[in-house]
């Protein structure tokens, strides 16, 4: 499937050919800190299937618990996280599903770093919700 992504302000845009089965959730503590949330949603795509169509992201390189250095692409204007990849010559990009127009069609198919998942994550379905914010 073809996906189209952008940062919140629209300064950076990209597209990719992706397999929806590669959508997942990462519960690692780095993703929790970087997202300011309980987890990160990602869609893994091969480098050759990815194309930047506008703008140039800023890159922040972090060292994962595994010791791997991971490049985190984000918009310098609005701060949106866009994708992550290996620091150099990465064959894969992990696009952030929230940046994709097709996000409703990309339910997670896998979860990683589950040992770091917050203990209440499986209870979210029981939390009362509203159609719109307060």
Looking at residue 50, which CATH number applies to its domain?
A: 2.170.150.70
Q: Average pLDDT of the chain?
A: 94
Task: Give the total number of structural domains in the chain.
Answer: 1
Alpha helices, DSSP H, located in the chain: 29-35
Closest CA to 53 of 80, 16, 13, 19: 13
**Residue 40 forms part of a structural domain:** yes
**Residue 130 forms part of a structural domain:** no
- Is the predicted pLDDT of residue 68 greater than 90, yes or no? no
pLDDT at 55: 97
Q: Which residues constitute the domain of residue 78?
A: 2-118
**Residue 131 forms part of a structural domain:** no
pLDDT at 134: 57
pLDDT in tens, 87-129: 888 899 999 999 999 999 999 999 999 999 999 999 988 999 8
Adjacent-strand bridge partners of 36:
none
pLDDT at 95: 98
pLDDT, average across residues 51-80: 94
**Rounded-to-integer distance, Cα 105 and Cα 103, Å:** 5
DSSP 11: S
pLDDT at 133: 63
**Residue 112 forms part of a structural domain:** yes
| Residue 49 tokens, joined | 């299937």
CB neighbours of residue 59 within 10 Å: 12
- Is the predicted pLDDT of residue 130 greater than 90, yes or no? no
pLDDT at 111: 96
Residues of the chain by 3-state class (helix, strand, coil), percent to 5: 20, 40, 40
**Residue 95 forms part of a structural domain:** yes
**Residue 126 forms part of a structural domain:** no
pLDDT at 21: 98
pTM, to two decimals: 0.90
pLDDT in tens, 88-97: 888 999 999 9
Residues 6 or more apart whose Cβ sits within 8 Å of residue 107: 23
pLDDT at 129: 87
CB distance 108 to 94 below 8 Å: no
**Residue 67 forms part of a structural domain:** yes
**Residue 74 forms part of a structural domain:** yes
pLDDT at 65: 79
């Amino acid at each position: 499937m073809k996906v189209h992504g952008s940062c919140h302000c629209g300064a950076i845009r990209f597209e990719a050919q992706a397999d929806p089965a590669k959508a997942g959730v990462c519960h690692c503590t780095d993703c929790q800190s970087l997202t300011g949330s309980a987890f990160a949603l990602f869609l893994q795509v091969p480098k050759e299937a990815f194309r930047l169509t506008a703008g140039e992201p800023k890159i922040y390189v972090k060292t994962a618990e595994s010791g791997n250095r991971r490049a985190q692409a984000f918009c310098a204007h609005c701060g949106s996280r866009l994708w992550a990849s290996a620091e150099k010559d990465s064959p894969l990009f992990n696009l952030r599903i929230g940046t994709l127009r097709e996000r409703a069609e990309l339910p997670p198919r896998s979860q990683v770093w589950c040992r770091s998942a917050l203990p209440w994550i499986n209870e979210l379905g029981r939390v009362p919700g509203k159609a719109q914010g307060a």
